[in-house]
């Protein structure tokens, strides 16, 4: 697994991530293509910088050969080594023609890094009409150790969502558990989060449940749900 290439792909797509978050605009499929292309281009840019800047006896590779020839030499002379618990096993193995396959695997890693950034951005709540990311307007959290009670409130909230009744979901959720964490090490947290589109001011209400164990939290799968809320919605703490 080319973890270095994947992390480099993350970094290469980082500018798009910051731009999307700062401007609040959800990326399009065209931007996905740009992010992947930039991530792949970064792979070749790394080799080109070595080709153009690294000197041997005062001479760069750029002075004596075209970039394609340099890349061919570097890839064919690539080598890999194996280690167990940071201890090298055997001698490095020169890849030869397999260097191209290894480079292709790295390119896939770079592209995957860009795709992963886009996927994360696409999963964030956004306005279907404006394409803008939603901003948090309020949050209501309740704590309990009652597993059956958490299941019941999750079902009740989901039923109110299905009936397009955000006020009913908020009122029902406010009656569950307590506002403050207790002294128990393992607890359950039930959360309603209200977000709003900064352009058209439409609302979005989302529900989630987590298991808290000390300072760690674990999302409880299958209990989350959300709904769009036309009109004014208020979420009491």
pTM, entire model: 0.60
Burial of residue 55 (CB within 10 Å: 0-12, 13-18, 19+) is exposed
pLDDT at 205: 92
Q: CA 227 to CA 237: how far, in whole Å?
A: 19
Residue 193 backbone class (left: φ over 0; alpha: ψ -120 to 50; beta: rest): beta
The angle at the Cα of 107, spanning 103 to 111, to the nearest 5 degrees, equals 170
User: Tell me: the pLDDT tens digits for 159-185?
Assistant: 999 999 999 999 999 999 998 887 787
Which candidate, 114, 122, 121, 133, places its Cα nearest to that of 34?
A: 114
- pLDDT (tens digit per residue) in 32-57: 787 777 777 877 888 898 888 888 77
Place of tokens 């002379």: 77
Q: How far is CA 53 from CA 47, 68, 74, 115, in A?
A: 10, 16, 15, 30
Residues 9-24 pLDDT 10s: 777 677 778 888 777 7
98-123 burial: b if 16+ Cβ within 10 Å, else e:
ebeeebeebbbbbbbbbbbbbeebee
């Amino acid at each position: 697994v080319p973890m270095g290439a994947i992390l480099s792909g993350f970094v290469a797509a980082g500018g798009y991530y910051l731009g999307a978050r700062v401007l609040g605009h959800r990326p399009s499929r065209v931007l996905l293509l740009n992010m992947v292309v930039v991530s792949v281009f970064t792979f070749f840019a790394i080799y080109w910088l070595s080709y153009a800047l690294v000197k041997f006896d005062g001479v760069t590779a750029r002075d004596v050969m075209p970039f394609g020839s340099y890349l061919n030499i570097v890839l064919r002379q690539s080598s890999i080594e194996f280690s167990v618990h940071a201890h090298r096993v055997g001698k490095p193995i020169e890849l030869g023609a397999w260097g191209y396959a290894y480079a292709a695997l790295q390119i896939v890693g770079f592209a995957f890094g860009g795709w992963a950034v886009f996927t994360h951005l696409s999963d964030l709540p956004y306005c279907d009409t404006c394409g803008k990311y939603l901003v948090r307007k309020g949050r209501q959290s309740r704590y309990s150790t009652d597993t059956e009670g958490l299941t019941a409130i999750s079902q009740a909230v989901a039923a109110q969502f299905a009936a397009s009744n955000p006020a009913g979901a908020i009122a029902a959720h406010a009656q569950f558990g307590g506002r403050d964490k207790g002294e128990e090490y393992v607890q359950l947290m039930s959360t309603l989060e209200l977000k709003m589109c900064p352009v058209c001011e439409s609302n979005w209400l989302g529900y989630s449940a987590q298991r808290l164990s000390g300072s760690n939290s674990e999302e409880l799968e299958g209990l989350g749900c959300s709904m769009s809320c036309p009109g004014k919605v208020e979420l009491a703490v």
